[in-house]
Chains A and B, each alone.
Chain A
Amino acid sequence: MFQPSPPRFLVGIEIAVIKVDQFESVFKSAAKLNFKRQELSFQKIAVVTDLEEAEAKTLAARVRAFLQVLGDGPEWMVLDRGQSERVEQLLGLVTQEKPELLVTYRNLHSAAWRWPHSLGPRLDVLTQATRCPVMVLPHPRDVSAFDASMQHTEVVMAVTDHLVGDSRLVSYAASFTEKGGDLFLTHIEDDAIFERYIEVISKIPSINTENAREQIIKQLLKEPRDYIESCRRELKEEGLDLRIHSEVRTGHHLIEYKQLVEDHSVQLLVMNTKDEDQLAMHGLAYPLAVELRQIPLLMV
């Protein structure tokens, strides 16, 4: 905020300024962002494949069974090989039909699914050029992974490095968790970035490094924990039969999430990719989507 230079008569009351700042910090910390469940609609779902029509329909049936949590309400449409081959045509169809969820898999029209290096150009475009969420399944040719993953959504995990205030992400994750299931709300602070800031702080004489480390990490982790508590309260009040679990910690994103997925046998991972600046896609989401090829991902 712009601050005019202080009038002469204010010089010399630094102690009061420090105390005002301390109390403002107390009140700012008390002003919390609470979870508010967003109403989500899944009237039309499009399954995008690179299979011939018959195979595509079979796959769509599997997807429908897998997403039983969405009930019988949605209208399902299936895009086969011919309809998804050209990117312009695919985007045109999505724009025209306005599905509220796209279900597909990585490396459409490519054999590169065998190597964990990319999502393929069509999926890159779909995640960034469309506004609706995209569910990425394991590739159907990877039969063992596909079969193993297409069972249930009883264990769902929302992943982010900025959970506080992200009602949209939590609402999607809650909507895809089956009744009586486990919803893991996670927040991993990247320790490499944190250490970089602490290193800078350690070179500033007026800041006590150890105190800064202790206080910053305490506050960084407190905020998502408080937010998860508000999610728990609100979802309970809404009558959702879910067990909410909190996983808030520091660490290396990819390593921590891979570990969490393994430890809790997660069946669906929900992550942000639709923020305006595409920061999520360029930061946390893309490497996760590339690396975690064995379970379905929901990119919202």
Chain B
Amino acid sequence: MLPETTFAAAQIGANAAHQQVVPLSITLLFAALFFGLVLCLALEEKLHAKKSVIAGLFAIICLTLGAFMELLPFGEVTLADGHHIKLPVFIPSIDWGVVTIILGASIFVDVTSKSGLFTWIAIKLTKLSKGDPLLLLVFYGAMTTVFSAVLNNVTAMIIVGSLTAVSLDKLGRNDKLLGFLLIEGLLTNVGGLLTLISSVPNIIVGTTAGIGFVDFFVKSSPYVLVVTVITIWLGARRFGIERLASEEKAEAAERVDTFDENDGIESIGFFWFGAVMLVLFIAFIAAASFDSWAIGKLGMGFVAMSFAMVMLLRYKSEAHTFYSAVDWDLIFFFAFLFVTIYVMEQALVLELIGRGFAPIIGMGEKVGGGLLLLVAAIASSVTDNIPISAMLSKILTSGNFQTPADSPLWWSVIFGANLGGNLTPIGSASTLVAVTIMHKHGLEVSFLKFVTLALPFAIVHIGLATAYVLIWLS
């Protein structure tokens, strides 16, 4: 596999060599195709089609039309060392750095979870709460935020949500399940803001803008901390989750004490290995954002894949089971989406959309940034936040804007794309999982009911994010 910097250089070389005028009619045709893609992704469930298939179909149509209309820069690409190689035109259009981060991190987390580390932490916190519902909400809320940051939103929701269902059932508090799951679902998207690798929009926007891992964490963590506390507080009030009366405490403590945190640990050695590797993984991912050393030059994707491979040594003869557990729909969707966006770039569609955004961005960092955040949030609430963030990133780096890395506009896209998921149950995969768990336990939550319950929280999240970006980050 070639390093991501090589492909970046190759892509830049190809782009630089291909400057042409595109008739407006062709740009509008491709803009209609792009709008069609976004619309189909928004109607994914109604079409009953996986998003990779939708994006794949559009990528094929765009590439074919682009080739026939002579929009694409065919020919050899020049590598960083001056060599010329022949590559299919769509290969350099895919951001392999991001693909390898997602692929490596996903395998790493999946194998690490087999060590029992995450379930151990989850059960320890459950026992620490002594079965008190309010303490349980505080611990589970904090755990959701941290797990979403370290793992990914969906895995975090699955772990914390399933434990919530089991522990509330054990405590005879099933009436509080809806409140717990809703708060956890919302916090997955808040926790997804904590680090550069916590969510796909962060990876896309952060890497495009050139925001380092540490810089990202320093800037986002105050918001994540404050909003996590506020969400838990609001949730406790809204759903009547309170401390136990003194006469109930002993029985509740006894009930949660029957959880055995060591039950899921098959090997104590692998458990500690997993814990150490997780700490090292975060440290190396952080260090990889500094490209002044060899690992930094190889990039975060290299770190993620390397750690995945080291963890797989434990399951070397059954590595294929972990490969089959990878979310290939996401990986293929991501690859096809970038191919489509690349064609859109060649057809000057992004430039056209950018012109539409120009008045918003032209309002300055404060008003423009605020509006951009709202647009990103609303768009992300009804369709996938990955194309939104990919498109806006391309627009912000385009010739018209050339947005610097320290501009708050990047953060508007990041916050909007992540928090928009809290407006509707289809806004993010993790809220969808939360509703799935609700449904599994007999709680009927319609689209409208979810919106009604989540809207006050989402307004607070987006309102605070707007204020934070405009006041703190500008």
Q: Residues of A with Cβ closer than 8 Å to B?
A: 1-4, 6-13, 15-17, 19-21, 23-24, 26-34, 226
Contacts and interface: CB of A to CB of B under 8 A. Distances in A.
Contacts of A2: 442
Interface stretch (B224-232, B255-263, B284-292, B366-374): B255-263
B158 A30 contact: no
Contact of A8 (B45, B162, B433): B45
B381 interface: no
B119 A16 contact: no
Contact of A10 (B119, B167, B436, B441): B436
Given A7-B446, A27-B123, A32-B258, A20 B437 contact: yes
A9 B436 contact: no
A26 B432 CA distance: 22
Contacts of A12: 44-45, 48, 50
B92 interface: no
Interface of B: 44-46, 48, 50, 119, 122-123, 154-155, 158-159, 161-163, 165-167, 170, 257-261, 263-264, 327, 425-426, 429, 432-433, 435-437, 439-442, 444-447
B258 A11 contact: no
B167 A27 contact: yes
A7 B434 CA distance: 13
13 contacts: A7-B435, A8-B46, A10-B435, A16-B158, A17-B440, A19-B155, A21-B440, A23-B158, A26-B263, A26-B264, A30-B263, A31-B258, A34-B257
B166 A24 contact: yes
A20 B436 contact: yes
Contacts of A26: 119, 162, 263-264
Nearest to B439: A6
B444 A29 contact: no
A288 to B, nearest CB: 30
B433 A33 contact: no
Contact of A11 (B48, B119, B159, B444): B48
Contact of A1 (B327, B432, B441, B446): B441
B119 A23 contact: yes
A123 to B, nearest CB: 38
Contact of A3 (B46, B261, B264, B440): B440
Contact of B260 (A3, A6, A16, A32): A32
B300 to A, nearest CB: 25
A6 B159 CA distance: 21
Contacts, number: 104
A201 B154 CA distance: 32
B452 to A, nearest CB: 14
B264 A24 contact: no
Contacts of B159: 23
Contact of A13 (B122, B260, B433, B445): B433
A226 B113 CA distance: 23
A23 B162 contact: yes
Nearest to B49: A12
Contacts of B441: 1
A203 B429 CA distance: 35
Contact of A9 (B165, B258, B264, B425): B425
A23 B441 CA distance: 14
Contacts of A28: 166
A2 B446 CA distance: 17
A16 B166 contact: no
B155 to A, nearest CB: 8
Given A9-B426, A12-B48, A16-B429, 10 more contacts: A7-B447, A9-B425, A10-B432, A10-B436, A11-B45, A11-B48, A17-B440, A20-B161, A23-B158, A23-B163
A27 to B, nearest CB: 4
B188 to A, nearest CB: 12
Given A27-B123, A32-B259, A32-B263, A20 B440 contact: yes
Contact of A7 (B260, B327, B445): B445
A19 B158 contact: yes
Contacts of B166: 24, 27-28, 31
Among A15, A23, A226: residue with most chain B CB under 10 A: A23
